[in-house]
Amino acid sequence: MNLVTAKITGVILAGGQGRRMGGVDKGLKVLRGKPLVQWVIERLEPQVDELLINANQNLETYEHLGYRVIPDEIGGFAGPLAGLQRGLTEARHPLVATTPCDSPFLPRDLIARLYAALSRENTEIAVARTGDQPHPVFCLCRKQVLDGLNAFLAAGGRKIDAWYAKLNVVEVAFDDQAEAFSNINTPDELQSFEVTLAPGGSRPS
């Protein structure tokens, strides 16, 4: 039973430079025969009502995946907040969720659990957390945060945790699926997942 009653836009953040991956586009690196971004699409798309991809290079390749591609408005690879800003600007729906392009095993109930907390606590943003570690790139927020985000970015702010610390936020524990937040940053990490396919040596559910 789907307990999410609001319309939600999902934004996959694929706008980075991939420095630790050797300066290549992480979202297009191939894991077990398909690009990382495709793994994320298959997990996130069933959970949202609209899906956008935030990318700043290889735009045509991303467009071939069948979703609208939205580059940052801010130049210079300004980080995930720039992707969120563009997503909030372009989203058709009142709630916007983000996930990174390099976490292929993200929870299949990510959005439902973030939405439940956001609604219950009536906050501006819900952020996933495992243990004591928040994961602010896995978030669900209301479009009303856009004005404040614009001001934060205009003042030179770039750190996502510094931005959301200013908001009414609820952190949502995912300790039961901690490995689902594993991300792939380096060629060695990519190779390790080629061998095991999922964190801890198991197949993803």
- What average pLDDT score do residues 169-187 get? 91
Which one, of 200, 147, 186, 161, lies nearest residue 81 by Cα?
161
Residue 2 domain-assigned? Answer: no
Which one, of 98, 95, 111, 82, lies nearest residue 143 by Cα?
95
For the chain, report the end-to-end CA distance as a whole number of angstroms. Answer: 19
CB-count burial class (<10 Å; 0-12, 13-18, 19+) for 150:
middle
What CA–CA distance (Å, rounded) separates 198 from 181? Answer: 11
What CA–CA distance (Å, rounded) separates 152 from 193? Answer: 37
- What average pLDDT score do residues 50-78 get? 93
Residue 51 domain-assigned? Answer: yes
pLDDT reported for residue 1: 40
Residue 89 domain-assigned? Answer: yes
Residue 167 domain-assigned? Answer: yes
We report the CATH number of the domain holding residue 186 as: 3.90.550.10
- What average pLDDT score do residues 34-62 get? 96
Domain count, the chain: 1
Confidence of residue 22 (pLDDT cuts 50, 70, 90): very low
What CA–CA distance (Å, rounded) separates 199 from 43? Answer: 16
Confidence of residue 4 (pLDDT cuts 50, 70, 90): confident
pTM, entire model: 0.90
pLDDT reported for residue 23: 56
Residue 1 domain-assigned? Answer: no
- What average pLDDT score do residues 14-37 get? 77
Which one, of 11, 1, 99, lies nearest residue 50 by Cα?
11
Confidence of residue 24 (pLDDT cuts 50, 70, 90): low
Least confident of 11-20, 85-94, 112-121, 125-134: 11-20
| pLDDT at 17 exceeding the cut of 90 | no
Which one, of 59, 63, 204, lies nearest residue 72 by Cα?
59
Confidence of residue 159 (pLDDT cuts 50, 70, 90): very high
Please provide the DSSP assignment of 12-33 as one string: EEE-S--GGGTSS-GGGSEETT
pLDDT reported for residue 187: 76
Residue 205 domain-assigned? Answer: no
pLDDT reported for residue 203: 46
Range of the domain at 42: 8-200
Confidence of residue 198 (pLDDT cuts 50, 70, 90): low
